[in-house]
Amino acid sequence: MRQAIERMEYHRYTAVPLVDHEGKYAGTITEGDLLWKMKNTPGLSFEDTEKIPITEIPRRVKNEPVRIEAKIDSLLNLAVTQNFVPVVDDEGTFIGIIRRREIILHLAEQVARKNHNEAGPNAEAVQQDRH
């Protein structure tokens, strides 16, 4: 537990994915999970947190992963309720995360590209002539 707290503080994360000894995605732990554990464990000091395995901390939220070949629709559905979406391969091995921010930036880029294409090739020239 102590390592989780210190790493989250150092990297300024509010949640981190958990990976088991085989590299499989095992869930996500949040600041809230850690705080609730401390609150609900009478007499627990910060120094004592090094004795508590992360597996003993109840998790309130279950971040669902997507498989590597997931489409953007799957990501969007999960990103509505998750700050990040864990990505796993066909065997459940953790590959990484896709942050909600990255999904929004990708969609914004697509919209901008679509608007540019709909405006046509002369749109920039017309815009410059107006100034």
pLDDT in tens, 78-105: 999 898 999 999 999 999 999 999 999 9
Q: Give the count of domains, the chain.
A: 1
Q: Which residues contact 31 (CB under 8 A, 6 or more apart)?
A: 8, 14, 15
* pLDDT bracket for residue 125 (50, 70, 90): low
In a domain? residue 121? no
In a domain? residue 122? no
Q: What pLDDT, on the 0 to 100 scale, is given for residue 69?
A: 93
In a domain? residue 56? yes
In a domain? residue 131? no
Give the CATH number, domain containing residue 26: 3.10.580.10
Spatial contact of 65 and 91, defined as CB atoms under 8 Å apart:
no
pTM: 0.76
Domain of 54 in residue numbering reads as 2-99
